[in-house]
Amino acid sequence: MKKLFVLAVLFSGLTGFVVSPWIQGQSAPPSVTKGKDLVSYRDVVKKVLPSVVSIESKAKPMRLKEQGQKRKNQLPDNPQIPEEFRKFFEEFKKRGGEDGPDESPGGFGSGFIIESNGVIVTNNHVVEGADKVDITLNDGRKFTSVDIKGDPKTDLAIVKINAKNLPALEFGDSDTAEIGDRVLALGAPFGLTGSVTSGIISAKGRSLKLNFYEDFLQTDAAINPGNSGGPLVNLDGQVIGVNSAIKTRSGGFQGVGMAITSNLAKTIKEQLLKNGIVRRGYLGVAIKDIEDEQVAMKLGLKSPKGVIITQVMEDGPAGKGGIQSGDIIIEVAGRPVKDSKDLQFSVASLPLEKSSEFKLVRDGKELKVNITIVEQPKQFGMSRINPRSQEKPNIEGDTNLDKLGIEVGQLNDDLADKFGYKPGTKGVVIIKVDRENLGYQAGLRVGMVISKVDKKEVSSSSEVKSMTEKANYDEGVLFQIQTPDGSKDYILVKKS
């Protein structure tokens, strides 16, 4: 046992070392890495590292100031983003002002050469707002470029430099990557160029509400500020992700890194090269996932797959084609829709100015509508609007719903005005909610209008009272509610 301990100490610094079972007289287990049980990653690194670059963006001081304010307004104030998620560009300290130099340093990050004629992929937040960027290759050569094209909705960008015969990487198929596969992350963490870290794919298909369109690979390969835009590669040296974000409470790496999938990055790269922008289809709706099997069942669905339309934009394609708030989209152009991310990507890829078929569920019945998809407005999905805390009117309701612990009132023009609804809005508005009771615990709030109870329309306080008193809350009761912005949603009220 003493010799065994010494061996472990002597060799513990070697990557991939394990104390072999044969030392204890056991037979060696079969390899599970299919011929890639590497002691060193040196061959992969030698193949990949020459294609990794460092990027320093530069902009006029006033633009930096404006860009910094824009970022401040967009990300930290967005209530949907968990506090522990940090964009790497929060570490990019901006300098400059009216009395400063003509040109100031902006962000610093990484990138990788994807075409030998000088096409480089990086994150949009690395080059956002830059008038030009300085590129440093791994061999020390430096280039300056003003040919910068970005897509903020995916946080991807390309930069072109005037060079030929550069060492280029290739995109791998991120769909075939599996949880547990070993990967390397390359870049310049904290400005330390040419750094390499190793780990595995920890999860796939992550969506963190950092960008409008997301498909993240999660990895435990160490990623830090400065790694932004660098490649995440498999053991064949293929790019399967673009390093983009970390989850942290300290500001540094804590084992959870995010990389944009290569399949998404490849599509965006090709469109930016071809058109300079990314053209996407636009439906004109606000959406929400169905996450509860009981909600799905009460809505007439076979499984919790599909997307609830909570709001239909005025004069948008959905409204013109007959989609209504409260509908559930279950299929687009013959392709089943699993969730909101699936719907977003499906609509974005539909042909523009052409009709596409959507299958819906409305009031438990399936129907089909044809929608003519138009090009998505440039600013769609880019605003970060915080819900304002509104002072609730001090009024009395006309009916108590004792089982729910809420007080409601018949919505008239006076109440509609007080709660911010358009004149003529019909329904029963929630006036008061007891925080200790069932209604509040399920999600019912002051100012919501109850329009349906278990798919049956309600038009008066007495009707809601009658239906809610008879309802079985052990099985769950489905409420359709509306908010002042026109959004509709479903809330299941059930005893826990």
Q: Which amino acid is at 329?
A: I
Q: What is the DSSP annotation of 385-432?
A: PPPP-PPPP----SEEETTTTEEEEE--HHHHHHHTPPTT--SEEEEE
d(CA 399, CA 250): 50
Distance (Å, rounded) from C-alpha 42 to C-alpha 37?
13
Cβ contacts of residue 215 below 8 Å, gap of 6+? Answer: 205, 206, 207, 260, 261, 263, 264, 341, 345
Distance of alpha carbon 407 from alpha carbon 205, whole angstroms: 42
User: What is the C-alpha separation between 221 and 121, in angstroms, rounded?
Assistant: 20
Instruction: Write down the catalytic residue from 104, 145, 174, 228.
Output: 228
Rounded to an integer, what distance in angstroms lies between the CA atom of residue 356 and that of residue 337? 14
Catalytic: 228? yes
Residue 181 appears among annotated catalytic residues: no
* Catalytic residue (one of 151, 155, 215, 342): 155
Does the annotation count 20 as an active-site position?
no
Of 125, 198, 220, 327, catalytic: 125
CA angle 423/387/438 to nearest 5° reads: 85
Q: How far apart are CA 363 and CA 307, in angstroms?
A: 14
| Residues labelled as active-site residues | 125, 155, 228
